[in-house]
Structure 1
Amino acid sequence: MTAEDAYNFLVNWFKRFPQYKGREFYISGESYAGHYVPQLAELVYDRNKDKATTYINLKGFMVGNPLTDDYYDSKGLAEYAWSHSVVSDEIYERIKKVCDFRISNWSDDCDKAMSTVFSQYHEIDIYNIYAPRCNLPQSSAALAVDQALTANDQEHFRRRIRMFSGYDPCYSSYAERYFNKEDVQRAFHADVSGTRKWQVCSDPILRSYNFSVLSILPIYSKLIKAGLRVWLYRVPVIGSRYCVEALGLPIKTQWQSWYLNKQVAGRFVEYHGMTMVTIRGAGNLVPLNKPEEGLALIDTFLLGKQLPTHR
C-alpha cells in the first residue's frame, strides 16, 4: 500500500515537472525504509514494463541500517547486543536455546529472554549505543527550541548534551516540540484539534501495525538480476551481513577501508550486483551522526564510483 502511494506521488510529480522525465532516478532511505525503498523500486521496475504508464528511469537504490529480513535482523540484534556487552553470556546462551527467529510469533520463553535485551537499552540509545542520551527534562528541551534560555543557560545546555562531533541527542525532543506547534500543523494541513499528540515513535501505531512482509530478500535478488545498482550501508553490521550473505552473491572485492579527510571512514565489500558499506562511529541515522561521511557516501553512489581506498 505504501509503495502504491509513493508510486502515485512520483507519477504525478513527473507530470507536474516534466523537465525531469528521463533523468536517472535513484531511491534511498533508512531504517524501516529497508522495506519501503526496495518495495517501491520493485513497483517502479514492474510498472516500467507497461508502455501505457509513466516511464521512470530507475537506476538503483540505497538503504541505510535497513530492516530487511525478520529472521536475520532478529538474530543479528541479539548477537550484536551480546558482542557489545549489552547483555551477558548467560542471556545470549538462553536466547540461542529458546528463540527460533524463523517463527514470527516468539515463544513466551523467547519473548522473556529478548525483553531482557530491550530492557538494557532503557538507559542507552538503542540506535546509537555509544552516544549520550538526552537526559534533560522535556521542558528544558522545549525552552531551548523556543530560545527562551539566558545566554549562560544556553551555553550550559550545549555543553551538557553535545558531543565533540556536534551530535545532539535531544534532536527528537526538538522535532516533537516543533511538529506539535499549532501553526506548523496547520501549515501541513494536519489535525489541529489537539486530540492527538504527534510523536517521533508512536507505540500505539507500532502495536497495531500489521507486519505482513517478513523478508525483502526476494526483491533484492530480483532487482539485482535486473541490473539495478544496489548499495546497503550499515552500522550494527551483523544482521545485514547475514542478509547479504543469504543472497549468495559472488564477491568482487573483499572488505577494505574507505577514507575521508585522511581518516578511515568505514569499511566496504563489493559483490557482483551489490555493495555493502559501514560508517565508522555512526548510529542508525548516518546523515545525522556523520553528515560528512554520509554526503561522501551518497555522492560516490550517484557518480557510480568506488569509495576512496587511499588516504
Structure 2
Amino acid sequence: MKGALVLYLTLICLVASATQCYGEHGYYGYDPLAKFFKAPSLRKSVNHVNKELDSEYSPVYIGPQDGLKAADKITALPGEPKGVNFDQYSGYVTVDPKAGRALFYYFAESQNPSTKPLVLWLNGGPGCSSLGAGAMNELGPFRVTKGGKMLWKNPYAWNNVANIIFLESPAGVGFSYSNTSSDYITGDTKSAADAYTFLVNWLERFPEYKTRDFLMTGESYAGHYVPQLAQLILHNNKITNHTVINLKGVAIGNGYYDIEAQANGSYDYYWTHALISDEIHHGIVSNCNFSSADPPTEACQAYQSQANSAIGNIDNDNIYAPLCSSNTPPWINAYDPCSFNYSYTYLNTPAVQKSLHANTTGIPGPWETCNGYIGSNWDDEPDTVLPLIKELTSSGISVWLYSGDTDSVCSVTTTRYALNKLGLSVKTPWYAWYTQDEVGGYAVEYENLTFVTVRGAGHLVPSYQPARALTLFASFLDRKLPPSNHS
C-alpha cells in the first residue's frame, strides 16, 4: 500500500540527500497528516492478515553458521566507557544467498545472559534503523555524547533485564543490504518472512538461546512488524522441521495499527491537547469520513490544512519537547533533542563501522537513521492489523500495547480507538502505576491484553522516560502488571 504507509509514516523519514532522518522536529522530521488523508485513492492494501496462512510449511534458507558467532563478537566499541561487563555482537545474517540479501544486527547480552530471556527489538518507519534509534537513542546500553565520538552508559538500558537483539530490517535499512536492487521494493509480507529467516539462522549461530523464552517488542510501524512476525512464528512452530521459536510475548509502543483509528485519533488528540481550535476540530469531525475510501471533500481538505498549519513548529514525536538547535546545551542522563545527530556522526565513523563488522560497500551511501526510498516503495500494507492482534490474544502469549502520552504521531488516543475496536472485556480496571515514587502512567488489563501509558513520554518512550520505560519492560517480562504503589 502506498497511501497510509507512504504518506503518513514514511514521508516523515524522507530525506532529500544522504543525511540523517532526524531533523529539527524530531525522529521523523515533520507531520504529513494532511498529505496522508488527502490520498484515499492510494489506500490500496494487501489484507493478508485476514487470510489463513498456508497450511504447508515453506522451508526457509538456513546457512552454515560455524565460526560466525566468534567473528561477530565486538572487542570494544570506540569511545565506550570503562567497566563494560557484558558481551556485544554485531554482523550479518544472510536471508537470501541468491539475491545477496543480508540483515544487520547488534546484540547486547545481559550481565547474566544465561538467566535472562531473549528479546528482539524492531524500529518502524518503515525504513528506520533499530541500531540508530533503538540501540543508540532509546533502550540500548549506550548513548552517544555531543560530537559523536564518545559513549556514555545508559543506566536504564533494557539489557539490564534481558538479552536484546536490535535488527535493521528490511534490507536497505541501516547497514542491511541486498545485491538485488528490486529487493528495495518491499512490504509487510516480505519483511516478516525475512525477519523470520533471520531469527532461525541467528539461533543456529547462537544455539544456547534456542530454548530460551523469546519476546518481541518495538514501536511505531512495528505495530505491523511485530504482530505479523509473531503470527508467522506461531504458524511455523506448528509445522516446521527445524528450531521452534519459544515465543512468549509481544509489546508494542506507540504503534500504528488501524488506519481509521489513526485518522480519527490523531485529530482528536490535537484538539484535546490544545494544538488546534474548537472550530477546526468541529470542521474535521463534521466534514471528514476516515472510514471511507472515497476522496475527501474540499471542506475536509481545507480543515485538515488548517489543522496542520495551526500546530506550528513543534516536535510531533513529543509535543512538549524542545527542538534541536545550535543553542541546545548538552544533556547527560536526560532527553537531548539533538541526540540523533550524535548517533548519525558516530555510526558513520570508519572505526565504529569496523568494530561493528559493517559492510559499508553493501550500502549506496552513508549509514542513515531512516531510508526514505524503502518507505516510498513499500508495496503492501493492510489497513488494519487488529485481526492479527486479536488472534495473538487468543494464542496464549502475552500481548502488551503501551503509549507515551505526549506523542502526536501515533498517539495514545489512536491506540485507545484501536483497542475499542477489539471489544475486549476489562479484567483489571484503569489505575495509576508507579516508579521512583511517582506516577509512571496508567494501565488497564483486558482479557489477554494489557494497555499501559507512560506519563511524559513521546513517540520513543525510552528516550523521554527511561526509568519508567524500564519499569514497564521489566513488568512485561515478568508478566505482571506495572506496580500500583510507591514501593
Query: How would you bin the TM-score normalised by the shorter chain?
Result: 0.7 to 0.9
1:223 equivalent in structure 2: 392
Contact 1:182 1:192 in 2 (8 A): no
Contact 1:255 1:270 in 2 (8 A): yes
Q: Give secondary structure in 2 for the equivalent of 1:44.
A: helix
Structure 1 distance, partners of 2:256, 2:207, is 33
Structure 2 distance, partners of 1:104, 1:91, is 22
2:113 equivalent in structure 1: none
Structure 2 distance, partners of 1:15, 1:192, is 24
Contact 1:180 1:197 in 2 (8 A): yes
TM-score, L = length of structure 2: 0.55
1:290 is aligned, of 465, 468, 476, to 465
Amino acid paired to 2:360: A
After superposition, the Cα gap between the structure-2 partners of 1:267 and 1:292, relative to the gap in structure 1 and judged at 3 Å, is same
1:139 equivalent in structure 2: none
After superposition, the Cα gap between the structure-2 partners of 1:122 and 1:208, relative to the gap in structure 1 and judged at 3 Å, is farther
- Measured after TM superposition, the shift of residue 121 of structure 1 is 4.7
1:148 equivalent in structure 2: none
Amino acid paired to 1:38: P
1:272 equivalent in structure 2: 447
Contact 1:70 1:104 in 2 (8 A): no
Moved more, 35-44 or 101-110: 101-110
After superposition, the Cα gap between the structure-2 partners of 1:23 and 1:185, relative to the gap in structure 1 and judged at 3 Å, is closer
1:166 equivalent in structure 2: 334
1:209 equivalent in structure 2: 378
Q: State whether structure 2 residue 188 is matched by structure 1 residue 188.
A: no
Q: State whether structure 2 residue 283 is matched by structure 1 residue 114.
A: no
| Fraction of identical pairs, as percent | 40
After superposition, the Cα gap between the structure-2 partners of 1:157 and 1:102, relative to the gap in structure 1 and judged at 3 Å, is closer
Q: Give secondary structure in 2 for the equivalent of 1:266.
A: strand
Q: State whether structure 2 residue 315 is matched by structure 1 residue 125.
A: yes
2:456 is aligned, of 275, 281, 287, to 281
- Measured after TM superposition, the shift of residue 59 of structure 1 is 1.0
TM-score, L = length of structure 1: 0.84
After superposition, the Cα gap between the structure-2 partners of 1:182 and 1:125, relative to the gap in structure 1 and judged at 3 Å, is same
2:479 equivalent in structure 1: 304
1:14 is aligned, of 203, 214, 217, to 203
**Higher helix proportion, which one?**
1
Amino acid paired to 1:118: N
Any gaps of 5 or more consecutive residues in structure 1? Answer: 137-155
Root-mean-square deviation (Å) = 2.4
Q: State whether structure 2 residue 343 is matched by structure 1 residue 175.
A: yes
2:214 equivalent in structure 1: 25
- Measured after TM superposition, the shift of residue 285 of structure 1 is 0.6
Q: Give secondary structure in 1 for the equivalent of 2:239.
A: coil
Contact 2:288 2:297 in 1 (8 A): no
Contact 1:68 1:217 in 2 (8 A): yes
Q: Give secondary structure in 1 for the equivalent of 2:389.
A: helix
Amino acid paired to 1:308: P
After superposition, the Cα gap between the structure-2 partners of 1:224 and 1:103, relative to the gap in structure 1 and judged at 3 Å, is same
2:427 equivalent in structure 1: 252
- Measured after TM superposition, the shift of residue 205 of structure 1 is 4.5
2:261 equivalent in structure 1: 72
Any gaps of 5 or more consecutive residues in structure 2? Answer: 1-189, 405-410
After superposition, the Cα gap between the structure-2 partners of 1:211 and 1:73, relative to the gap in structure 1 and judged at 3 Å, is farther
Contact 1:47 1:53 in 2 (8 A): no
After superposition, the Cα gap between the structure-2 partners of 1:122 and 1:197, relative to the gap in structure 1 and judged at 3 Å, is farther
- Measured after TM superposition, the shift of residue 96 of structure 1 is 1.4
After superposition, the Cα gap between the structure-2 partners of 1:157 and 1:77, relative to the gap in structure 1 and judged at 3 Å, is closer
Structure 2 distance, partners of 1:273, 1:190, is 43
Amino acid paired to 1:228: I
2:223 is aligned, of 26, 34, 38, to 34
CA displacement 1:276-301 (0-9 Å, x = unmatched): 00011111111111111111111111
After superposition, the Cα gap between the structure-2 partners of 1:2 and 1:121, relative to the gap in structure 1 and judged at 3 Å, is farther
Alignment of 1:232-247 (within 5 A): 232-235=401-404, 236-247=411-422
Structure with greater contact order relative to length (CA < 8 Å, sep ≥ 6): 2
Amino acid paired to 2:210: K
Q: Give secondary structure in 2 for the equivalent of 1:6.
A: helix
Amino acid paired to 2:288: C
Structure 2 distance, partners of 1:157, 1:238, is 30
Structure 1 distance, partners of 2:468, 2:201, is 33
